[in-house]
Amino acid sequence: MAKILTTDQYSIFVTGISAFLRAQGHDVVTCECSAPKILAEIQEENPDIFLFGASMRGNHSLNLLKEVRESCRDVPIMLMTNTIFPEQSIALGGLRVNGLLLKEGDPNDILSCIDTILAGDIYVDHLITHQVYLHSIDSTKNFSLLNSALTQREWEIVELACNGMRNRAIALRCGVSEGTVKVHLRNVFQKLGIRSRSELIVAKIGMAPGSQEMRCP
Protein backbone atom coordinates (compact mmCIF):
# COMPACT_ATOMS: atom_id res chain seq x y z
CA MET A 1 0.00 0.00 0.00
CA ALA A 2 1.05 3.59 -0.56
CA LYS A 3 1.67 6.68 1.52
CA ILE A 4 -0.49 9.40 -0.03
CA LEU A 5 -0.36 13.11 0.75
CA THR A 6 -3.62 14.83 -0.16
CA THR A 7 -5.04 18.33 -0.10
CA ASP A 8 -7.92 20.35 -1.50
CA GLN A 9 -9.33 23.79 -0.80
CA TYR A 10 -12.54 22.04 0.27
CA SER A 11 -12.19 20.03 3.49
CA ILE A 12 -15.16 17.81 2.59
CA PHE A 13 -13.17 16.35 -0.31
CA VAL A 14 -10.11 15.76 1.88
CA THR A 15 -12.24 14.06 4.55
CA GLY A 16 -14.02 11.84 2.03
CA ILE A 17 -11.01 10.79 -0.04
CA SER A 18 -8.93 10.18 3.09
CA ALA A 19 -11.57 7.89 4.60
CA PHE A 20 -11.95 6.00 1.32
CA LEU A 21 -8.21 5.46 0.83
CA ARG A 22 -7.61 4.47 4.45
CA ALA A 23 -10.37 1.89 4.13
CA GLN A 24 -8.35 0.41 1.25
CA GLY A 25 -5.27 0.17 3.46
CA HIS A 26 -3.39 3.26 2.27
CA ASP A 27 -1.50 5.55 4.63
CA VAL A 28 -3.00 9.03 4.12
CA VAL A 29 -1.53 12.34 5.24
CA THR A 30 -3.47 15.59 4.79
CA CYS A 31 -2.24 19.16 4.67
CA GLU A 32 -3.33 22.74 4.08
CA CYS A 33 -3.88 23.68 0.43
CA SER A 34 -1.01 26.12 -0.01
CA ALA A 35 2.32 25.74 -1.78
CA PRO A 36 4.52 26.28 1.32
CA LYS A 37 2.55 23.71 3.36
CA ILE A 38 2.47 21.18 0.53
CA LEU A 39 6.20 21.48 -0.13
CA ALA A 40 6.98 21.17 3.59
CA GLU A 41 4.84 18.03 3.92
CA ILE A 42 6.37 16.44 0.82
CA GLN A 43 9.81 17.08 2.28
CA GLU A 44 8.85 15.67 5.68
CA GLU A 45 6.60 12.75 4.69
CA ASN A 46 8.22 11.66 1.40
CA PRO A 47 4.89 10.37 0.03
CA ASP A 48 4.55 7.82 -2.75
CA ILE A 49 1.89 10.03 -4.36
CA PHE A 50 0.74 13.63 -3.95
CA LEU A 51 -3.03 13.64 -4.56
CA PHE A 52 -4.23 17.14 -5.36
CA GLY A 53 -7.96 17.89 -5.37
CA ALA A 54 -8.29 21.02 -7.46
CA SER A 55 -10.57 23.47 -9.15
CA MET A 56 -9.21 24.18 -12.63
CA ARG A 57 -11.07 27.46 -13.08
CA GLY A 58 -8.45 30.14 -13.56
CA ASN A 59 -4.71 29.59 -13.25
CA HIS A 60 -4.30 29.16 -9.47
CA SER A 61 -4.16 25.35 -9.47
CA LEU A 62 -1.85 25.21 -12.50
CA ASN A 63 0.50 27.70 -10.86
CA LEU A 64 0.49 25.73 -7.61
CA LEU A 65 1.25 22.49 -9.44
CA LYS A 66 4.04 24.20 -11.36
CA GLU A 67 5.61 25.32 -8.08
CA VAL A 68 5.32 21.82 -6.62
CA ARG A 69 6.82 20.21 -9.72
CA GLU A 70 9.71 22.68 -9.90
CA SER A 71 10.61 22.03 -6.25
CA CYS A 72 9.80 18.30 -6.13
CA ARG A 73 10.74 16.83 -9.48
CA ASP A 74 10.35 13.18 -8.52
CA VAL A 75 7.14 13.00 -6.49
CA PRO A 76 4.29 11.44 -8.52
CA ILE A 77 1.32 13.81 -8.81
CA MET A 78 -2.29 12.67 -9.05
CA LEU A 79 -4.87 15.35 -9.86
CA MET A 80 -8.60 15.07 -9.23
CA THR A 81 -10.88 17.85 -10.42
CA ASN A 82 -14.54 18.59 -11.18
CA THR A 83 -13.94 20.10 -14.59
CA ILE A 84 -10.95 20.54 -16.85
CA PHE A 85 -10.44 22.14 -20.25
CA PRO A 86 -8.51 20.23 -22.94
CA GLU A 87 -5.87 22.95 -23.08
CA GLN A 88 -5.28 22.47 -19.35
CA SER A 89 -4.88 18.72 -19.83
CA ILE A 90 -2.12 19.44 -22.33
CA ALA A 91 -0.45 21.88 -19.91
CA LEU A 92 -0.62 19.28 -17.11
CA GLY A 93 1.23 16.86 -19.35
CA GLY A 94 4.02 19.41 -19.52
CA LEU A 95 4.12 19.44 -15.71
CA ARG A 96 4.47 15.63 -15.72
CA VAL A 97 1.24 14.97 -13.83
CA ASN A 98 1.10 11.19 -13.43
CA GLY A 99 -2.63 10.71 -12.91
CA LEU A 100 -5.63 12.75 -14.00
CA LEU A 101 -9.17 11.98 -12.84
CA LEU A 102 -12.58 13.61 -12.67
CA LYS A 103 -14.03 13.69 -9.15
CA GLU A 104 -17.36 12.46 -10.45
CA GLY A 105 -15.83 9.20 -11.67
CA ASP A 106 -16.07 5.66 -10.32
CA PRO A 107 -14.22 5.20 -6.98
CA ASN A 108 -12.58 2.11 -8.46
CA ASP A 109 -10.90 4.42 -10.99
CA ILE A 110 -9.12 6.11 -8.08
CA LEU A 111 -7.63 2.79 -7.03
CA SER A 112 -6.71 1.94 -10.62
CA CYS A 113 -5.02 5.31 -10.97
CA ILE A 114 -2.98 4.77 -7.80
CA ASP A 115 -1.92 1.28 -8.89
CA THR A 116 -0.94 2.59 -12.32
CA ILE A 117 1.16 5.41 -10.87
CA LEU A 118 2.88 3.05 -8.42
CA ALA A 119 3.73 0.82 -11.38
CA GLY A 120 5.47 3.78 -13.02
CA ASP A 121 2.86 4.48 -15.69
CA ILE A 122 0.50 7.37 -16.52
CA TYR A 123 -3.25 7.21 -15.88
CA VAL A 124 -5.75 9.56 -17.54
CA ASP A 125 -9.52 9.31 -17.10
CA HIS A 126 -11.06 8.06 -20.36
CA LEU A 127 -13.52 10.98 -20.37
CA ILE A 128 -10.63 13.45 -20.30
CA THR A 129 -8.82 11.52 -23.04
CA HIS A 130 -11.97 11.73 -25.17
CA GLN A 131 -12.23 15.49 -24.60
CA VAL A 132 -8.61 16.06 -25.58
CA TYR A 133 -9.04 13.90 -28.68
CA LEU A 134 -12.08 15.87 -29.83
CA HIS A 135 -10.25 19.10 -29.05
CA SER A 136 -7.28 18.02 -31.16
CA ILE A 137 -9.61 17.34 -34.09
CA ASP A 138 -11.32 20.70 -33.69
CA SER A 139 -7.94 22.41 -33.31
CA THR A 140 -6.68 20.93 -36.56
CA LYS A 141 -9.88 21.94 -38.36
CA ASN A 142 -9.77 25.45 -36.94
CA PHE A 143 -6.04 26.04 -37.28
CA SER A 144 -6.34 27.52 -40.77
CA LEU A 145 -9.00 29.90 -39.44
CA LEU A 146 -6.78 30.84 -36.51
CA ASN A 147 -3.79 31.26 -38.80
CA SER A 148 -5.77 33.63 -41.01
CA ALA A 149 -7.09 35.50 -37.95
CA LEU A 150 -3.56 36.35 -36.79
CA THR A 151 -1.28 38.41 -38.97
CA GLN A 152 2.25 37.24 -39.78
CA ARG A 153 3.65 39.83 -37.38
CA GLU A 154 1.27 38.69 -34.62
CA TRP A 155 2.40 35.08 -35.12
CA GLU A 156 6.03 36.19 -34.91
CA ILE A 157 5.40 38.01 -31.63
CA VAL A 158 3.38 35.07 -30.24
CA GLU A 159 6.31 32.74 -30.95
CA LEU A 160 8.83 35.02 -29.24
CA ALA A 161 6.54 35.71 -26.26
CA CYS A 162 5.95 31.98 -25.77
CA ASN A 163 9.73 31.47 -25.80
CA GLY A 164 9.96 33.71 -22.74
CA MET A 165 11.06 37.00 -24.32
CA ARG A 166 9.80 40.20 -22.71
CA ASN A 167 8.26 43.06 -24.67
CA ARG A 168 11.46 45.12 -24.89
CA ALA A 169 13.48 42.17 -26.19
CA ILE A 170 10.77 41.34 -28.72
CA ALA A 171 10.74 44.95 -29.89
CA LEU A 172 14.52 44.93 -30.42
CA ARG A 173 14.36 41.58 -32.21
CA CYS A 174 11.58 42.68 -34.56
CA GLY A 175 12.75 46.26 -35.08
CA VAL A 176 9.59 47.87 -33.71
CA SER A 177 8.74 49.92 -30.64
CA GLU A 178 7.81 48.33 -27.32
CA GLY A 179 4.41 50.04 -27.61
CA THR A 180 3.82 48.30 -30.94
CA VAL A 181 4.56 44.93 -29.35
CA LYS A 182 2.01 45.67 -26.62
CA VAL A 183 -0.60 46.57 -29.23
CA HIS A 184 0.03 43.33 -31.15
CA LEU A 185 -0.22 41.24 -27.99
CA ARG A 186 -3.42 43.00 -26.95
CA ASN A 187 -4.91 42.22 -30.37
CA VAL A 188 -3.84 38.57 -30.09
CA PHE A 189 -5.37 38.27 -26.61
CA GLN A 190 -8.65 39.69 -27.90
CA LYS A 191 -8.73 37.32 -30.89
CA LEU A 192 -8.02 34.27 -28.72
CA GLY A 193 -10.19 35.35 -25.80
CA ILE A 194 -7.34 35.18 -23.28
CA ARG A 195 -5.86 37.59 -20.74
CA SER A 196 -2.30 36.54 -19.93
CA ARG A 197 0.92 35.13 -21.37
CA SER A 198 0.44 31.87 -19.48
CA GLU A 199 -2.93 31.44 -21.20
CA LEU A 200 -1.23 32.32 -24.50
CA ILE A 201 1.28 29.49 -24.04
CA VAL A 202 -1.51 27.01 -23.26
CA ALA A 203 -3.52 28.25 -26.25
CA LYS A 204 -0.53 27.92 -28.59
CA ILE A 205 0.20 24.36 -27.42
CA GLY A 206 -3.44 23.36 -27.71
CA MET A 207 -4.25 25.01 -31.03
CA ALA A 208 -1.19 24.47 -33.17
CA PRO A 209 -1.08 21.04 -34.84
CA GLY A 210 2.69 21.36 -35.13
CA SER A 211 5.39 23.69 -33.95
CA GLN A 212 5.20 27.10 -35.56
CA GLU A 213 8.69 28.32 -36.25
CA MET A 214 8.08 32.03 -36.67
CA ARG A 215 10.99 34.40 -37.02
CA CYS A 216 11.11 38.15 -37.35
CA PRO A 217 12.86 39.36 -40.49
pLDDT in tens, the chain (217 residues): 899 999 998 999 999 999 999 999 999 999 999 999 999 999 999 999 999 998 877 778 888 998 999 999 899 999 999 877 766 776 777 788 899 898 888 899 999 999 999 999 989 887 776 565 555 545 554 555 555 667 889 889 988 988 888 899 999 999 999 999 999 999 888 877 677 777 677 666 555 444 343 334 4
Is 150-207 CATH 1.10.10.10? Answer: yes
Q: Where are the domains of the chain?
A: 3-130, 150-207
The class level of CATH for 3-130 reads alpha beta
Contact (Cβ atoms closer than 8 angstroms) between residue 204 and residue 147 = no
**CA-based angle 66:71:74, to the nearest 5?**
95
DSSP labels, 33-78:
SSHHHHHHHHHHH--SEEEEEE--SSSHHHHHHHHHHHH-SSS-EE
